[in-house]
Amino acid sequence: MAKIGINIATGSLQQSEMIVGIDLGTTNSLVAIIHPETKLPTALKEFDGSSIVPSVVHFDSFGNVEVGEQAKPFLESDPQNTIFSAKRLMGKSHQDIRAHQDFFAYKIIDDNRDSLVKVQVGSTFYSPIDLSSYILAELKKRAEHILKTPVTKAVITVPAYFNDTQRQATRDAGKLAGLDVLRIINEPTAASLAYGLGMDPSEEKTIAVYDLGGGTFDISILKISNGLFEVLSTNGDTYLGGDDLDRAIIQYWMKQMGLDDLEDHKLLKQQLRLAAEKAKIVLSTQEFFETEFAGEKISITRQIFETLIEPIVQNTMDCCARAMKDAGLQIADINTVLMVGGSTRVPLVKKSVATFFNQEVNDSVNPDEVVALGAAVQADILAGNNQSMLLLDITPLSLGIETMGGLMDVLLPRNAKIPTQAARQYTTQKDAQTGINIAVYQGERDLVKDNRPLGAFTLKGIPSMPAGLPKVEVRFLINADGILQVSAKELRSGVSQTVDIKPQYGLTDEEVEQRLLDSLTNAKADISMRALVEARTEGEQMLSVTEKFMMKNAALLTKDEISLTASAMQALQLAITMEDKHLIQAKTEELNDISRPFAERVMDQAISGALKGKGIEDKDLQ
Ligand code: ADP
Ligand code: MG
């Protein structure tokens, strides 16, 4: 497996299969590898010691693209042409981000064609995939420069709540940047790997990964056993992070100086923002910060800073409580707490997390690097150097298909571990039905109209059979990257079809949360709605069976019997149009009671007829 190559430029021996780990962050990105000599995960550093590349892309009017530190100053001086937080746009539609439109200083376009957002810079349109690929290309270039060898294979991390579209988009961005993305893994899983968790197969642990970055917050509860990683639950806030801490300081200082708006003073605004971030970082290790701004001395103490940010920190603790609840765990069940993301260096954050989980937190691995380091560990596993481990993740929302009456039939429940698969059998509703429509939905509600459509396809070419006879097996398969594949197969004939479900656009995690809330608040209504729909479906089936029977066997029935059946059918038909489940059930029952004796009699006659050799064809007996 381990191939050796010679680097032509340096003449040195190289491992030809260098797989790097990449943390493609909202604010900062970086690359790590397993050091060939020390065998330890190591972030790749420039000569100046910096490993972090700000996830910022600037386009100048000559078509030059700058990425990282060089692009950062343009955030204030040339905001229309400077893209930050492209990760937030991955796999999103305009609809998805509309509520946060003001957050982005650049121009976001709703492209109707595929309903995914694009960013307009000058007269050029860029997809979030393009933008992320610029960052990845820069990371690749740096890695090649530092390692002095081509880098073509990578493991890239994504938040645990990223859906299929977002994961696929990340993969595509890698491809565009010339990287073969061997695996997409969840950030909290990567962080655990960096802490060496799960390396010992006998180890059983439940861990909380608290990740507070520049603009996002994620809490994930993972379980490790037998060298397997399982995400039990995730929660967080995609618009809460270190930037909010900076803003708290900015607002405090502006109030101190009696300023209420700096919108028209771009340069001052930038200076103040930089000073605030500096203050925050200094206050992580010191009690006091002072600087000069527009000729005035401004300062802040750690104590005031902590008072300012207390509500923000509290918000993250609320998310932790929800994640714990979702995982069905008590605080005492958590064995280890990992701190991830630059903002966890803030002492109040550490203290609050430690208090919440009632234990010391683990912060020994550099929180800026820990995700990339873990990606490198995973890369090493994929390179075949460490085969004892496997990764499992979860589905954030239930996945299912639409069945009769618009009901959601769940194949994979929410928080199912992935990779995973599930299959169920369905059948046709009508005689000689040759196609069956498979519509895939995501969500917790009982009716598909309240859930999110992911995609649909039709299984065609089912041989003509009476209703209920075909056996259509629908199979959901989620691969290790969390991408859903749906296949349908008619088992009697073998006709089958498979599609990769690539939803048109993603859900924000607020929406995921909203959907979960909706499913709770509407649970009662959903249950009665489901019962009503089921009663209606059953009633309709009864009607169609009876109708068919009457058409074929009218000659064998008396006039009274026919009119009795007809009026029972009418009564049921009417009941179905109403909202009363009990009425529908009662009328179905009545019709059944009336028609059953006729059916039995006709059956007897048919059998005796057949015995006499007259024959009534089988198919007339339904
Ligand atoms: P992301 O994962 O979102 O890309 P990072 O994990 O790199 O982000 O975190 C970036 C954030 O961490 C920024 O808001 C930055 O100001 C903050 N940060 C970095 N160092 C410190 C520090 N010493 N104290 C407080 N905050 C810090
Ligand atoms: Mg991060």
User: What long-range pairs does 404-407 form, CB within 8 A, spacing at least 24?
Assistant: 404/429, 404/533, 404/537, 405/533, 405/534, 405/536, 405/537, 406/447, 406/448, 406/449, 406/533, 407/446, 407/447, 407/448, 407/530, 407/533, 407/534
Instruction: Verify that 177 and 202 share a domain, yes or no.
Output: no
Question: Which ligand lies nearest to the CA atom of residue 281 in the structure?
Answer: 1
Are 436 and 294 within one domain? no
325 and 235 fall within a common domain: yes
Last residue of a domain, one of 478, 508, 538: 508
Nearest-atom number in ligand 1 for the CA of 285 is 23
Q: Which residue range(s) make up the domain with 137?
A: 4-195+368-382
- Judging by beta carbons within 10 Å of its beta carbon (0-12, 13-18, 19+), is residue 367 exposed, middle or buried? buried
* Two structure tokens written together for 368: 């800026």
| 415, 330: one domain | no
Residue 225 scores a pLDDT above 70: yes
Asked if residue 407 lies in contact with residue 447, where contact means CB atoms within 8 angstroms, the answer is yes
- 306 sits in the region (left: phi over 0; alpha: psi -120 to 50; else beta) called alpha
Q: Where does 153-251 show beta strands of DSSP type E?
A: 153-158, 180-186, 204-212, 217-225, 228-237
Q: Print burial letters for 480-514: b (CB count within 10 Å at least 16), e (below 16).
A: ebbbbebbbbbeeeebebeeebebebbbbbebbbe
Q: How far is the CA of 343 from the centre of ligand 2 (A)?
A: 10
Do 145 and 244 belong together in one domain?
no
Candidates 27, 17, 86; CA nearest to 52 is 27
Closest residue CA from atom 18 of ligand 1: 342
Write out the H or E segment, with its range, that includes residue 118.
Answer: strand 117-121
Angle between helices 509-521 and 523-553 (to 10 degrees): 70
- pLDDT bracket for residue 621 (50, 70, 90): very low
Please report whether residue 389 resides in a domain.
no
Higher pLDDT, 16 or 122: 122
Beta pairing class for 153-158 and 19-24: parallel
Mean pLDDT lowest among 10-19, 78-87, 143-152, 304-313 = 10-19
Same domain, 186 and 209: no
Ligand having the closest approach to the CA of 242: 1
Find where tokens 């208090």 sit.
355
Q: Tell me the best of 343, 351, 363, 370 to mutate to test the pocket of ligand 1, counting ligand atoms within 8 Å of each CB and taking the most.
A: 343
CA distance 203 to 164: 31
Whether 391 is covered by a domain: the verdict is no
The four Cα atoms 298, 299, 305, 308 give a dihedral, to 10 degrees, of -30
**Which residues form the pocket of ligand 1, taking CB atoms under 6 Å from any ligand atom?**
25-28, 213-216, 241-243, 277, 280-281, 284, 341-343, 345-346, 368
| CA–CA distance, 236 with 216 (Å, rounded to integer) | 8
More confident residue, 445 or 333: 333
Average pLDDT over residues 321-341: 96
Of the two residues 8 and 88, the one the predictor is more confident about is 88
Over residues 73-86, the mean pLDDT reads 92
Confidence of residue 391 (pLDDT cuts 50, 70, 90): very low
Q: Which residue matches tokens 């007809």?
A: 566
My answer on whether 171 and 214 are in the same domain is: no
**Inter-residue contact 138 to 173 (CB < 8 Å):** no
* Chosen domain end from 454, 483, 508: 508
Say yes or no: 38 and 157 in one domain. yes
Whole-structure pTM value = 0.66
Instruction: Identify whether 390 is part of a domain.
Output: no
Within a domain: residue 388?
no
> Of 455, 482, 508, which marks where a domain is finished?
508
Same domain? 180 vs 210: no
In this structure, the answer to whether residues 498 and 551 fall within a common structural domain is: no
Q: Does a structural domain hold residue 269?
A: yes
| Protein residue with least CA distance to atom 5, ligand 1 | 213
Cα separations in angstroms, 574 against 174, 456, 581: 59, 33, 12
Q: Is residue 170 a part of any domain in this protein?
A: yes
Asked if residue 286 has pLDDT above 60, the reply is yes
Average pLDDT, the chain: 85
Ligand 1 atom with least separation from CA of 242: 14
Where on the phi/psi map is residue 514: left (φ > 0), alpha (ψ -120 to 50), or beta?
Answer: alpha
Specify the number of domains making up the chain: 4
Decide if 164 contacts 119 (C-beta within 8 A).
Answer: no
Q: How far apart are CA 424 and CA 410, in angstroms?
A: 10
* 349 and 213 in a common domain: yes
Residue 13: pLDDT over 50: no
- Under 8 Å between Cβ of 539 and 578: no
Alpha carbons 248 and 236: distance in angstroms, whole number: 20
616 domain residue, yes or no: no
Closest residue by CA, ligand 1 atom 7? 28
Q: What is the CATH number of the domain that holds 221?
A: 3.30.420.40
Residues 21 and 166 in one domain: yes
Q: Are 71 and 59 in contact (CB under 8 A)?
A: no
In a domain, 515, yes or no: no
Catalytic residues: 23, 87, 187, 211
Q: pLDDT value at position 137?
A: 97
